[in-house]
Amino acid sequence: MASQPGTAPAKAGEAESFYRHRAPVRLTHWINALCILFLLGSGLNIFNAHPRLYWGQYGANSDRAFFSIDAYNTPQGVRGITEIGHTDFDTTGVLGWSKTNGQYAARAWPDWLTIPSFQDLADARHWHFLFAWILALNGAFYVVWSLATRHLQRDVWPTRADIKSIPRSVLDHVLLRHPRGEAAKRYNVLQRLAYLGVILLIALMVLTGLTMSPGFDAFFPWLLDLFGGRQSARSIHFICASLIVLFIIVHLAEVVLAGPINEARSMLTGNYVVPQERVRDRTSCPAPSTAGIAAPPRDTMSCPEGAP
Amino acid sequence: MTTAGKITRRVAIGAGFAGAAALVYSANSLTLSPSFGRVFRAVEDWTRLNQRALLAPGQLAREYSAADISPTFKANGTFNPGGDAYNRAVAENFANWRLRIDGMVTRPLSLSVAEIRKLPARTQITRHDCVEGWSAIGQWTGVPLSLLLKAAGLQVGARYAVFYCADNLDGEPSKGGEQSPGQYYESIGLVDALHPQTLIAYDLNGKPLEVAHGAPLRLRVERQLGYKHAKYVQHIEITDDLTKIAGGRGGYWEDRGYEWYAGI
């Protein structure tokens, strides 16, 4: 197995195979994915034990929460109400009041989102801390390895040219134009920023998680100052988790749009089939109009006559 | 790569995903399985060892200013132990309440609340973190537990302080002695028992503890979560073995699955 990403020489007419992800990247990626799945599920179960968020050092039921999920008795029966700021949303059936084993129950997040599915704070904490340790060790290994091999500096950190290409990259993403040829062998600038962003989010998750530990606070009280208090840290923990969910949604959507088989294979085996360059101008080609005519298969698509 | 290598890798990847899928699918049953519980206990031990390695024995939890005190200090768990004995104690303003300290000590003690109030006191404004997620800041006054333990004299081999309480969270108030099912109890190691901020507290925010907050005496163990801070404390036993007490895991909530080391 090659130790550096590289290209296997392609014979004429054959698809070019490119070694895109080295083994440590692939392994840490999938361990991370499993950890995040369990941390999100158990985290929502933990949240259910006190489904309110506050800013500051302290916060309990009599203090002002900026976010809460609760069940209320109303003349129309019990309703699940999610409150963001000062605005109430009726989320009955999903948030606040949902069915567990066919019976409605007061639960902030529904059973199909939590690990374990039944409500138990002690058990959810066990899962959370098990995978928190794996996530932290896996993440520490990834960061050290990536810095040592210059993966982060070379492949993830955006170059000056990358930064300049942000507007064009945004347009390419909006028009669902995916890079081909040489450009497909490197992360584009939005990928780089997204991956750096999610690394930062995971680091914030670990730090805000530690800030919630009364033992760790005695050791590192400046974490309380950094995040503005334990309850602020708990809220930031939740907000960062929400942003990670947003990342996952976009990440998976991009995998599907860019070719799920090829993308998944590259993260499993490392090998990626480079989409061939189009016959003509490959980057300024506008999205094909599908009005009235069937679009040709993507791989053989070339610019229509008269396109700039 | 050889064909054999490809097949081996394919098997490895397939096995990895099958294992992950099985883990997700069986998360509920694993949660309830005693053998998988050993994995969770190992993680708890690993967390405790890490925090013990980081934390100096006497390192203090953050203390706050009077301006940081919560307008309302939330009460949780038992709001009133009830029962004839406790109700009578409330009516007598705890004049006959006694705190016994025995077990592996050279001089067992029995102190009234008035006697405890005459001992050197410590006042601290600290944050109380409930395992559920909420926090409240309050000013606690009490006698450092280390003073009481020094007066009682710890025997060689002593490892834990066990706190027996007057409240019963399973409903029946104070029936059947301090080890009856549902009777609240807690325990801490000597590192925390001798910590300068560990108090037998009698005042909250300058006033005698209310019933909901554990009157007349409660434990403060500031580097751990709220359920360790036993309320209505009437008996402290020094021991080297927690396994013979109640459920054997060192506390009411510990017997119901929560971590004995509640620093996280």
| One-letter identity of residue A232 | S
Give the confidence band of A9 by pLDDT, cuts at 50, 70, 90.
low
With a pLDDT cut of 90, the percent of chain B lying above it is 86
In A71-165, alpha helices (H): 121-148, 151, 160-164
Q: What's the confidence (pLDDT) of residue B176?
A: 54
Q: What is the DSSP letter of B163?
A: E
Q: Beta partners for B73?
A: none
Mean pLDDT of chain B: 94
Residues 101-140 of B with CB under 8 A from A: 127, 129-137
**Residue-wise pLDDT tens digits, A170-229:** 999 999 888 888 888 899 999 999 999 999 999 999 999 999 999 999 999 999 999 999
pTM of the model: 0.89
HSE at residue B147, side-chain half, CA atoms within 13 A, is 17
pLDDT in the model for residue A219: 95
Binary contact (B16, A30; C-beta < 8 A): yes
Largest CA distance in chain B: 86
pLDDT tens digits, residue range A55-105?
A: 999 999 999 999 999 999 999 899 999 999 999 999 999 999 999 988 999
Taking the C-alpha atoms of residue A204 and residue A247, their distance in angstroms, rounded to an integer, is 15
Cross-strand partners of A83: A68, A88
Candidates A58, A113, A138, A217, partner chain B, best to mutate (most B CBs within 10 A): A58
**Residue A307 pLDDT class (50, 70, 90 cuts):** very low
**Ordered DSSP codes for B51-73:** HHHHS-TTPPPP---GGGS-SS-
**Residue B29 forms contact with A (CB below 8 Å):** no
Q: The tokens of A143 are what? A: 């960061």
Question: A286 pLDDT exceeds 50?
Answer: no
Is B264's CB within 8 Å of A63's CB?
no
Q: Do the chains contact at B127 and A115, CB–CB below 8 Å?
A: no
- For residue B77, give the nearest of B252, B263, B257, B260 by alpha carbon: B252
Of the listed ranges A130-134, A140-144, A280-284, B176-180, the least confidently predicted one is A280-284
The answer for B 232-261 residues in CB contact with A (under 8 A) is: 253, 256-259
Strands (E) across chain B are located at 98-103, 109-112, 122-129, 135-144, 160-168, 183-189, 199-204, 207-208, 218-220, 233-239
- Output the average pLDDT for chain A: 88
Nearest chain A CA: its distance from B191 CA (Å): 13
- The three-state secondary structure class of A66 is coil
Chain B interface, best mutation among A47, A53, A111, A126, by max B CB count within 10 A:
A126
A161-187 per-position pLDDT tens digit? 999 999 999 999 999 888 888 888 899
B22 vs A contacts (CB less than 8 Å): none
* Residue in A187, A270, A255 with CA at minimum distance from that of residue A20: A270
Q: How far apart are CA A271 and CA A163, in angstroms?
A: 27
Instruction: Give A194's contacts (C-beta < 8 A, 6+ positions apart).
Output: A247, A250, A251
- pLDDT average, residue stretch A34-60: 98
pLDDT for the residue numbered A14 = 65
| B220 pLDDT higher than 70 | yes
Rounded (5°) CA angle A37-A38-A44: 95
Percent with pLDDT over 70 in chain A: 85
What per-residue confidence (pLDDT) applies to A287? 45
Residue A237: pLDDT band (50, 70, 90) is very high
- Compute the distance between CA of residue B56 and CA of residue B264 in angstroms, rounded to an integer: 16
Question: CB B112: neighbour CB atoms within 10 A?
Answer: 15
| Secondary structure (3-state) at B204 | strand
Asked if the Cβ–Cβ distance from A214 to B13 is below 8 Å, we say no
